[in-house]
Amino acid sequence: MKKPFTKSALSEAEQALKNWGIKYEIKPDGSLHVPKDLNISNKGLTELPDLSQVSVGGNFYCDSNQLTSLEGAPQSVGGYFSCASNQLTSLKGTPQSVGGNFSCGSNQLTSLEGGPQTVGGYFYCDSNQLTSLKGAPRFVTDSFYCDNNQLTSLEGAPTMFKKLMSDFGKFNSWDAIPEELRVSPQTKEEERQAAIEKSIEAATVLQAPLKLRGPLRFRL
């Protein structure tokens, strides 16, 4: 759901675009549109100005800053979205759809929750601290890179891709991934515990005393 446009957010975004020398247009609904690229890499930023009411027709780059959050990122990006080489611990704030590649490599991410669910090109989440791929898009048009993390399995990875690069190897399809890598040890343990609890519940029901509503009557 789109956020309602607010004057404060628009004025902050407009001022930021002017300061960066980025050309933009004001759309009929009052939002701002950058028809080409919006490149704010290497600017020493610790946070993004509120660009949540800005659409970018080209690529969006905010690489090599000191960002710990993507709150305030543009509402939509038609091309490449790159936030690599920051100090990000979360992807919350990113557009849910990115027209081109998406790169969040070389950060401090422990989760992909909140990240885009539709990516028109490559998806890079390599060189982070991921222990799970939960939150990754289900479909990546091109390749998915998740190597150099702390993964124990590939559970949560896209099931459709051209190539998947991981510390477990390179795979050209989900079917090529070994069964033991498709489910994490944690999920296997949770499933085992659930099966045990179910068995205990079933045994408890069988052992429960039979309650009679009235005296027994026997036919001769």
Q: Is the pLDDT of residue 220 over 60?
A: no
Say how far apart CA 11 and CA 49 lie, in whole Å: 10
Of the two residues 214 and 18, the one the predictor is more confident about is: 18
Say how far apart CA 175 and CA 132 lie, in whole Å: 19
Q: How many CB atoms lie within 10 A of CB 86?
A: 23
Q: Residue 51: which of 68, 34, 35, 29 has the closest Cα? A: 34
Average pLDDT over residues 185-212: 70
Q: Residue 172: which of 164, 181, 180 has the closest Cα? A: 164
Residue 213 lies in a domain: no
Helices and strands counted in the chain (H then E): 3, 14
Q: Dihedral, CA atoms, 133, 139, 140, 143, nearest 10 degrees?
A: 70
Which backbone phi and psi does 76 adopt, to 5 degrees?
-155, 150
Q: Is the four-CA dihedral 94, 85, 105, 87 of positive or negative sign? A: negative
The predicted-structure confidence for 112-162, as pLDDT tens digits, reads as follows 999 999 999 999 999 999 999 999 999 999 999 999 999 999 999 999 999
Residue 13 lies in a domain: yes
Residue 46 lies in a domain: yes
Q: Exposed/middle/buried for 110, CB within 10 Å: 0-12, 13-18, 19+?
A: middle
| pLDDT band, residue 1 (cuts 50/70/90) | very low
Say how far apart CA 125 and CA 115 lie, in whole Å: 11
Percentage with pLDDT > 70 across the chain: 85
Q: Is the pLDDT of residue 195 over 80?
A: no
Residue 87 lies in a domain: yes
Contact 183, 164 (CB under 8 A): no
The predicted-structure confidence for 18-36, as pLDDT tens digits, reads as follows 999 999 999 999 899 999 9
Indicate the number of domains in the chain: 1
The predicted-structure confidence for 173-184, as pLDDT tens digits, reads as follows 999 999 999 998
pLDDT recorded at residue 200: 72
Q: Which of 9-13, 106-110, 205-209 has the lowest mean pLDDT?
A: 205-209
Residue 215 lies in a domain: no
Residue 63 lies in a domain: yes
Contact 107, 84 (CB under 8 A): yes
Model pTM score? 0.82
| pLDDT band, residue 8 (cuts 50/70/90) | low
Residue 128 lies in a domain: yes
Query: Residues near 132 by Cβ (< 8 Å), separated by ≥ 6?
Result: 111, 151, 155, 156, 184
Average pLDDT over residues 103-113: 97
Query: Residues near 169 by Cβ (< 8 Å), separated by ≥ 6?
Result: none
Domain that holds residue 146: 7-206
Residue 197 lies in a domain: yes
| pLDDT band, residue 2 (cuts 50/70/90) | very low
Q: Where are the beta strands (DSSP E) in the chain?
A: 25-26, 32-34, 38-39, 54-56, 60-61, 76-77, 81-82, 97-98, 102-103, 118-119, 123-124, 143-145, 163-166, 169-171
